Amino acid sequence: MSATVATPRPTVLIVGAGLGGVVLGALLERCNIPYMIFERASTVKPLGSAMSLAGQMIYLFRQLGIDEKFEEISKYSRFGDFRLENGTPLPTTDFIAMEEYGGCPSRIVSRPLLYDLLLSLVPRQKIHFNKRILNITEEDDKVKIQAADNTVYEGDILVGADGAYSAIRQRMYEKLKKEGNLPKSDQEDLPFNCTCLVGQTEPLDLEEFPELKNPKEPFVTTFSKDSPFTWTVFSTRQSTLCFMVLEHLSEKTSKTAQEQRFRNTDNSEWGPHAAQAMCDETRDFSISFGGGKKTLGDLYDKTPKERIVKVMLEEKVFKTWSHGRTVLLGDACHKVNPSAGVGAITAMHDAIALANLIYALPSNTSDDITKTFQEYHAERYPPAMEAYNNSLLMSKLLKGGVTGAIVRFMKNNMPNWLWRLAVKGLIMNRLQAGFLKPVEDKGTVPPNISPSTEKARALFNKRMGVVAV
């Protein structure tokens, strides 16, 4: 059951059609709030590797009616296997505590397939492609955006869900900086000390890759002894293999520094040529799939070149998430290393909280919108910092050399009670949409209280004539 929204009905402009932007659109669709999504690219490309989802998202999927479809495209995951490059196995990680605490098992899903599933919840006519946003203005209690093709759109709320190098954040920060209200840390470049190659093969021959028949071997991480690389290979329900190859840099850098290097050396670090160069550099690295006789190169050769991409893994949580009628979501306000597998989940949680608060918005006045954005920041900033810190720890675990060895030793010798305590912290953020019929949470550990969900649910119950018990 969905809720009918009485006045006011703010018009929401969402810039960015990534996971966060699409989830926000899908939720606004369910509560009948008008919105439009603007995407800079000309089309959605099926890029990315795989990700693990559990209780953090499954209850929302049940509210949206896509939980069964999600299970159909995903693969049960309980264990994480680790090994050295020479094939020596390391202690297996058991995630059964996450299943117990969250009330449902972890599942590995191809990121492109998850994206397509969520995208199916948004009418295609509400997504506008080839819309590179150049300007933002606020006047007459409205916010307007102008695209590069000179089209102009007007709404009550502007959401920047356009990634780590968000154009919306840049425009918002330019205004704040002129006013002298932008914290110094928000003016600094996005740092990174790791690059990543990701992709997904076509469906593979089960005789050539017999491990794909094993439902209990979803992913294996390999540590290199003599090179700055770590690579993880995920098996999927579709008999494909997804890969994530991490290159650990010797020092932190930034996109600005890399661009300066490019100008000085005429040697670009990004684009198709860079991805191919990283493939060439790592193609002889061994993998445990294919009877232990295959390499990453075998996966590259079975992956369409347009599906392989090299990316920077920036790590930063911005302090300023909103100004006026503009608010940020996902990577635009917190970019975390994907090693811990929490970046996309955090972005989707942002979308749930923001949708809850927009649903409960008492009016479209600037004062009420400002207050709503403050509530959003107060709820979502602590989890974003938690995700950031977890990603830092996991990136150290995956790093080679002495640092990585020490962290792995500590993790492998961690008492079980301490490991379960760490897992408990990861699974307690289980948000639901307050304006949709609640579903039973079957976790043995209660989820963290979400003020936005409670606020939206109180209003939902009032509008539906539900008497609180």
- Minimum mean pLDDT range among 104-118, 240-254, 279-293, 413-427: 413-427
Amino acid 261: pLDDT: 57
Express each pLDDT in 344-373 by its tens digit: 999 999 999 999 999 999 999 999 999 999
Residue type at 403 in one-letter notation: T
Taking Cα atoms as reference points, which of 104, 39, 56, 47 lies closest to residue 348?
56
401 vs 29: which has the higher pLDDT: 29
Distance CA 89, CA 72 (A): 31
Express each pLDDT in 218-247 by its tens digit: 889 998 888 889 999 999 999 999 999 999
pLDDT at 37 over 70: yes
Amino acid 400: pLDDT: 59
pLDDT at 1 over 50: no
pLDDT at 179 over 70: yes
- Minimum mean pLDDT range among 30-34, 36-40, 463-467: 463-467
pLDDT at 383 over 80: yes
What's the pTM value of the predicted model, to 2 decimals? Answer: 0.92
Taking Cα atoms as reference points, which of 279, 408, 248, 383 lies closest to residue 321?
383
Amino acid 394: pLDDT: 65
Residue 290: pLDDT band with limits 50, 70, 90: very high
Unique residue bearing structure tokens 């069964």: 68
Distance CA 384, CA 332 (A): 12
Task: Give the percent of the chain with pLDDT over 90.
Answer: 65
Q: Would you tell me the crossing angle of helices 401-412 and 366-398 to the nearest 10 degrees?
A: 100
Amino acid 268: pLDDT: 41
CATH code at 12-77+106-188+315-464:
3.50.50.60
Residue 396: pLDDT band with limits 50, 70, 90: low
Are residues 103 and 96 in contact, defined by beta-carbon separation less than 8 angstroms?
no
